[in-house]
Structure 1
Amino acid sequence: MYHPRLYGSFHEMGLKYGTLLSEKANFKIPPMNSQRLDFGLQSYRELKTFYPEVVEEIEGFAQGIGDRPERLGAFLLSLGVLGTTGQCSVFAFANGDSVIMARNYDMLFEYKKFTESSLIAPTDKYAYISQSDVFIGRADGINEKGLSIAMSFVNGTETRPGISFHFIIRKVLENCDSTEKAVALIRNTKVSSANNFLIADRNGSIAVVESAPQKSNIRYPKEGKPFLYITNQFISPQMKVFDRGKVEWSQSFERYDHLKRSLLSLKTMDMKKAKGILSDKCICLNLKKERFGTIWSVVANLNTLQIERAETLPKVTNYKPETRLDWWLKKTKM
């Protein structure tokens, strides 16, 4: 897993990282067929309206690798929409004085070589720690305001040119300090594919946005059950019509039911308990035949901004502290 530290203007961050990957890894944009290129170019035009600042980052990155921003944007905005997508487990639990979030990201093991955990601190935006298997786009993260967001793929019935989850998560982390604001942002976004988004903030507000190009729905914790959890299907009756299913191979329903049982059995949550749940063989995928499984896990206390990450199949004992956000916040206060 790579561990870049990116800060400054959006263009500066893009140029720095693009130049680094070009010089150190000879990075080139992979070939795209005409369907993917056309879908990506249409989505890139949408991104210019949705988040023009991140387009500046794409332009800087493209300059660093010596390619056109449009090709890079088309590549990024078709990832996870028209290709292989992860299968994930996520939950958040609100105690009286703390909120714990936890996530497993499950993907083809070959994608391990592309994974990165980044400190990103754009000028005049919130700083955050986030994970991904693609540069620029994000799959989950925790920002300086104690807001967390993580996605899980749903096998939707339709895709449309629009904004992929990678850039929705970027905009949430960089601009939102509450679950309410994040929910509103997602609901007003022209999304390109079906996903669950689990959002939590340090005040104990937790929500799941079940999001599809056709419609979205919000779920909140039930009374007396201060937690929510997601795997890879829609739960709300009104959203199931937009879910084609066929995720049995990744044990999505079994993972969902096990999360439910585990969370119902607990009155409080801490990071050790969260790591234990993520490490359980019923939650942590290790599908050797498919060469597919958990390639990173993250747990965090949103009130203290304590973050720990396992960069392989998780065990309670193999998480390491993540200190870069604390370093950045202290640095900028000096």
Structure 2
Amino acid sequence: MKTNTGQFAFLQGSSYEIGQQQAGEFQNNPFAKSLFFTEKLISNNTYFEMKAQIEQYCPGLNKELEGFAEGFGYAPEQLNFYQNAWLIPGGCSLGAILPGKMADGKTYVLRNYDLSPNISDMRLCTTNVEGKYTHTGFSVSTFGRSEGLNDKGLCVAFASCGMPIGNYPGMRPPVVPGLQFMVIVRTLLENCKNVEEAIYTVNNMPIGTNMNLLIADASGDAALIGTYDGVREIKRAELDYLIATNHGLFPTIQEKEPGKLEHSQLRYDILEKKCKENGKRSIDEIQELLLTEFPKGLAVHNYKEGFGTVHSILFNLTDLQLEFSFGSPLQNQVNKIGVGDNFAKTQIPVEFCNKSYGTEFWKIIKS
């Protein structure tokens, strides 16, 4: 068993002030400078292009990055984030269960995020930037977001589609230039109040990542956006649910995808079986998906091979609440927080008990 630490951050103020606040949060970390900054500057042309794209599609983030860098005595162009944001992967299981399927008539989104704890932020944030919608969700590379729910009832959750795209070993270089998922998710949470606005925003931004992006709102609307090597597809919810894992779910993307991990299909099938059954679902049935271990449920404990549950969330869009755990909810406490709220603890111990699922876990099947 390995023990890690989950963190909570309450970020409030102007973009620059939030950047400075986060610099203070990491000041005592002896690895912070090597983690966040580089001594080797990228070219001015590349930096200004990245900065311009972020300013256009996620306004305010540059000021946050500036405040953070200056808090450490560095120039903003030395931040590694600028290289990562323009083009940290993971396996994910996502599902939007809409009011027509729920016994209580509410809208829910469930999300299980599988990754190595060594490269996960393990950090939940409530972020209230002046002039933007407040949201609560987990951070990626500190300044990005992997998912979240905002105070207007819009929920956005990311899952990689196929081999993750990025500038790190083991990832595939981007085929087309564009923003990484972590900037896209944050942009939507801070600037959109419903699914329609989110779709419009995504359709008008450059996307370099391959992803399944699930979007839902408190009115019961939902959509799935799939991107893969420049292809972009959108599916609106035709049933009372919409689900996704880590493989292509559109014919045009499936044609490009060389294969998919069998466990991605198995997790998809688990979600579909529960949602497809006749009758309405209770909240207990939805929670059970997150509280049952793979291959019968969605919780995965394959931490040594970089594919274990680092956080689990059930979003209640109607009531603007999150039930979440750092790490697997089978091994750690499930907590509750309202969107925009502060959390009582800034640090929570997290246990990771590894389990090997054998070589078959990584079996690749035809898309």
TM-score by length of 2: 0.79
* Count of aligned pairs between the two proteins: 318
Which residue does 1:110 correspond to in 2? Answer: 118
Alpha-carbon distance between aligned partners in 1 of 2:240 and 2:11, rounded to the nearest angstrom: 35
- In the TM superposition, 1:165-244 aligns within 5 A as 165-222=181-238, 225-244=239-258
Matched, 1:299 2:314: yes
Which residue does 1:259 correspond to in 2? Answer: 271
Instruction: Please say which of residues 67-76 and 302-311 is displaced more in the overlay.
Output: 67-76
Change (3 A) 1:266 1:149: farther
Change (3 A) 1:88 1:285: same
- In the TM superposition, 1:1-334 aligns within 5 A as 1-25=6-30, 27-30=32-35, 41=47, 42-72=49-79, 73-77=81-85, 80=88, 85-96=89-100, 97-112=105-120, 114-155=121-162, 158-222=174-238, 225-248=239-262, 251-265=263-277, 267-280=279-292, 281-282=294-295, 283-315=298-330, 318-323=333-338, 325-326=340-341
What is the one-letter code of the residue matched to 1:168?
A: I
Residues 148 and 302 in structure 1, CA contact (< 8 A), matched pair in contact too: yes
Match of 1:3, SS state, is: strand
Task: Give 1:28 shift.
Answer: 1.2
What is the one-letter code of the residue matched to 2:219?
A: N
**CA deviation profile, 1:146-197 (whole Å, cap 9, x unmatched):** 1100000012684333211111111111111111111111121101111111
Match of 2:8, SS state, is: coil
- Structure (1 or 2) with the greater strand fraction: 2
CA RMSD of aligned residues (A): 2.7
Higher relative contact order (CA 8 A, sep 6+): 2
Which residue does 1:331 correspond to in 2? Answer: none
Which residue does 2:351 correspond to in 1? Answer: none
Alpha-carbon distance between aligned partners in 2 of 1:94 and 1:155, rounded to the nearest angstrom: 27
Task: Give 1:15 shift.
Answer: 1.1
Match of 1:200, SS state, is: strand
Instruction: Please say which of residues 291-300 and 66-75 is displaced more in the overlay.
Output: 66-75
Instruction: Please say which of residues 284-293 and 227-236 is displaced more in the overlay.
Output: 284-293
Residues 87 and 179 in structure 2, CA contact (< 8 A), matched pair in contact too: no
Alpha-carbon distance between aligned partners in 1 of 2:50 and 2:304, rounded to the nearest angstrom: 34
Change (3 A) 1:326 1:2: closer
Q: Which runs of 5+ in 2 are unaligned?
A: 1-5, 164-171, 344-367
Task: Give 1:26 shift.
Answer: 5.2
- Structure (1 or 2) with the greater helix fraction: 1
Alpha-carbon distance between aligned partners in 1 of 2:266 and 2:42, rounded to the nearest angstrom: 36
Q: Which runs of 5+ in 1 are unaligned?
A: 329-334
Change (3 A) 1:33 1:58: closer
